[in-house]
Amino acid sequence: MNYLEKGLEMRKWVLSGILASEETYLSHLEALLLPMKPLKAAATTSQPVLTSQQIETIFFKVPELYEIHKEFYDGLFPRVQQWSHQQRVGDLFQKLASQLGVYRAFVDNYEVAMETAEKCCQANAQFAEISEVMSWYLFLMFLRLFFFTALLYKPVDRVTRSTLVLHDLLKHTPVSHPDHPLLQDALRISQNFLSSINEEITPRRQSMTVKKGEHRQLLKDSFMVELVEGARKLRHVFLFTDLFLCAKLKKQIGGKSQQYDCKWYIPLTDLSFQMVDESEAVPNIPLVPDEELDAMKIKISQIKNDIQREKRANKGSKVIERLKKKLSEQESLLLLMSPNMAFRVHNRNGKSYTFLISSDYERAEWRENIREQQKKCDFSLTSVELQMLTNSCVKLQTVHNIPLTINKEDDESPGLYGFLNVIVHSATGFKQSSNLYCTLEVDSFGYFVNKAKTRVYRDTTEPNWNEEFEIELEGSQTLRILCYEKCYNKTKLTKEDGESTDRIMGKGQIQLDPQALQDKDWQRTVISMNGVEVKLSVKFTSREFSLKRMPSRKQTGVFGVKIAIVTKRERSKVPYIVRQCVEEIERRGMEEVGIYRVSGVATDIQALKAAFDVNNKDVSVMMSEMDVNAIAGTLKLYFRELPEPLFTDELYPNFAEGIALSDPVAKESCMLNLLLSLPEPNLVTFLFLLDHLKRVAERESVNKMSLHNLATVFGPTLLRPSEKDSKIPANPTQPITMTDSWSLEVMSQVQVLLYFLQLETIPTPDSKRQSILFSTEV
């Protein structure tokens, strides 16, 4: 099937989707129209529930909307059933777009309809003792809620969805097809309508009447993990203009619509952020081993790959839906298990609640939003209103899915994979001199991870860091930057949530646009944050290039020659650069949080590399004055730029096959024999590094670097496929997917190194061990 035929076939699948959603929308309108007839009949009696005028106002234009979409559905259904590549549907969409004036009339009447429903509820409340009238009162209460949750924005959402479908249809409709001009016209009309109405709809959509003259508005919502009696619980948290509500999404049974169960709420007037005294322990956070988190990532990668394969094979939607359900389950599990940063809220009645989030950026954002709203909020909430509010959360929510970058319908942009070089140039806009530094975060599998930190620039209002960092991206879509004031006198500040006492001065973020970053040149940008401006430059190297070894151009220096040549020249079994870096790190970097994971300053790394290349005798002095993360970065760069990886091109495929063996005895025999097959300089260098990494992991409680973390950092550095063995295409015609980059190569490399790190002893010839211990020549 050629590209044109594939596009025409996609038209059918897009239209099948709109048919299914039209059925659902029509059923919603039918349900709303159902009580109209008995209400109209009652209006002619001596005791009407609603007058004819009230019925007309409340149900204004709903019958017309139903007729418009019924006609559209009845016209589209047979054409899809009798599908051919020449089939036309553009006239149906053009006619639908031409009737958007009905939607305009509906929205313009909304305020009057709401007021009328409100008055009807109040007027009928006096008949609450009478069972028949009470049932009508409850119906009207439901109607009031239904108007807000369904009637107001479901029709506008319908236009939005139709507009998106028009985009998809146009994308897969050849310019020569008769439908193309009709679809273009329908799209133009729809876009004009949406742009004119969005400003009016947005505030209404997020509002809920509290009492006359006031509105409860949704400000922010998000999935969050609550710590309940030591167990992690997935919650959906809603911040309204007057309260903070924590809800649990109920399980859907028998095709019923989603519902929320309110777990607790705190009026903003009663909410504070719990202060943690120095002597008070932060609640024990149950940590999940990194190995388990990576196993979840692998499953997510594999399921997503299966979904794409099924789509390419045009398999049935049932298979894809089952896979999407599995994907959602794994994403939920990863979201539940990954965050470890405490965010605590306190109710003045004495009850405190603890959430776990992954980013200081998010924690600061929640605090800012709550504190800002506390300055101007008042509170009143009855039990009935609480139930209505909880029910309305399903419609109010702005975050509909587990917030992972990979959980998107027809996701064609799964994020960036590779390396992002970031230069933090300078910042302006600070009002008084401070000790300032920045941290960088990127999202990985849906949650944010701290990746780099600048040095502290002391006593200034205009810091000039000019520091470069190399950050690994795994499906990343956003780069965040946080600017802190360093506090050296820890006794002057009270800690919240057991966090660092350093104060956030500003925060901002940029979207990592794959199209803009395809150009391999530096892209300059400015991030504004609370009056502060930070200047950055970014450059991206994609995974398909970063997976290939990039040896140094300087073939005579330490970084440009093989291990065996280096060690022969130095009359030592372990290269001088490796010994020097390891010794310096063990002297003062073993308790550095994130050692080997946190990026060093790129300019420092390059300076140190140049010093080693020319065998500079002052290199020891340079290292003693340099940030320890730059020394760790130099060691990683040395192994990455070797012309041949430490585990050699020849043996790499064997290591990859050996680690996949299921029998533990056979695996151990295979892996040890392969290890001892390495050239002697490679072997003793690896054993020297292995011992060092194990000593680093012994300080895991302080430096947060487990054996698995270290294997994740060094695995892809020590084991790389040669170009002929790599599963990555030499000249890829399309972006490398997550499964290609993560599962096919990287995880195998991580597992090989982790296997050796976890072995208590590695039986090697004594002579090779002793050469490590007693060789001191430079």
28-41 pLDDT per residue, tens = 778 777 777 777 88
342 with 283: CB under 8 angstroms?
A: yes
- What does the pLDDT read at residue 413? 54
- Would you call 771 helix, strand, or coil by DSSP? helix
Helix or strand run (H / E) with residue 540:
strand 532-542
List the structure tokens of 471. 């950050």
- What does the pLDDT read at residue 346? 92
How buried is residue 238: exposed, middle or buried, by Cβ count under 10 Å (0-12/13-18/19+)? buried
- Would you call 459 helix, strand, or coil by DSSP? strand
- Rounded Cα distance, 630 and 626, in Å: 7
**What are 130-169's pLDDT values in tens digits?**
233 334 444 444 444 444 434 444 555 666 667 777 777 7
List the structure tokens of 597. 């994971």
- Which residues are within 8 A (CB) of 3 and not within 5 positions of it... i.e. 6 or more apart? none
Helix or strand run (H / E) with residue 249:
strand 243-249
- What does the pLDDT read at residue 240? 87
- Would you call 198 helix, strand, or coil by DSSP? helix
- Domain residue spans in the chain? 3-208, 213-281+340-402, 416-546, 556-723+739-767
Pick the CATH number of 3-208 from 1.20.140.10, 1.10.3720.10, 3.10.110.10, 1.20.900.10: 1.20.900.10
- Rounded Cα distance, 506 and 499, in Å: 17
**What letter does residue 273 receive in the DSSP assignment?**
E
Low-confidence ranges of the chain (pLDDT < 50): 125-153, 202, 204-213, 276-281, 404-412, 491-495, 497-499, 728-742, 767-778
List the structure tokens of 516. 């803009």
Highest CATH level, class, for 213-281+340-402: mainly beta
659 with 552: CB under 8 angstroms?
A: no
- Rounded Cα distance, 482 and 424, in Å: 11
Torsion of CA 581, 587, 593, 596, to 10 degrees: 10
Closest among 586, 565, 585 to 575, alpha carbons compared: 565
List the structure tokens of 323. 């896979």
- What does the pLDDT read at residue 86? 84
* 3 state SS for 570-617: HCCCCCHHHHHHHHHHHHHCCCCCCCCCCECCHHHHHHHHHHHHCCCC
Quick one: 416-546 is in which CATH superfamily? C2 domain (2.60.40.150)
CB neighbours of residue 156 within 10 Å:
21
- What does the pLDDT read at residue 441? 92
- What does the pLDDT read at residue 475? 80
- What does the pLDDT read at residue 127? 26
Q: Which amino acid is at 361?
A: Y
- What does the pLDDT read at residue 748? 83
- Which residues are within 8 A (CB) of 370 and not within 5 positions of it... i.e. 6 or more apart? 239, 244, 268, 271
- Rounded Cα distance, 548 and 641, in Å: 10
CA angle, residues 44, 46, 51, in degrees to nearest 5: 50
Helix or strand run (H / E) with residue 18:
helix 3-33
- Which residues are within 8 A (CB) of 44 and not within 5 positions of it... i.e. 6 or more apart? none
Place of tokens 């001065």: 505
User: CB-hemisphere CA count at 13 Å for 596?
Assistant: 28
**What are 737-749's pLDDT values in tens digits?**
444 444 557 778 8
- What does the pLDDT read at residue 399? 64
- Which residues are within 8 A (CB) of 225 and not within 5 positions of it... i.e. 6 or more apart? 232, 233, 234, 235, 335, 336, 339, 355, 356, 357
- What does the pLDDT read at residue 471? 86
- Rounded Cα distance, 558 and 642, in Å: 9
- What does the pLDDT read at residue 374? 87
- Rounded Cα distance, 20 and 15, in Å: 9
Architecture label for domain 556-723+739-767:
Orthogonal Bundle (1.10)
Question: pTM value?
Answer: 0.58
Closest among 333, 234, 233, 356 to 284, alpha carbons compared: 356
207 with 215: CB under 8 angstroms?
A: yes
- What does the pLDDT read at residue 418? 82
- Rounded Cα distance, 429 and 247, in Å: 40
- What does the pLDDT read at residue 498? 44
Q: What is the DSSP string of 633-694?
A: HHHHHHHHTSSS-TT-TTTHHHHHHHHT-S-HHHHHHHHHHHHHTS-HHHHHHHHHHHHHHH
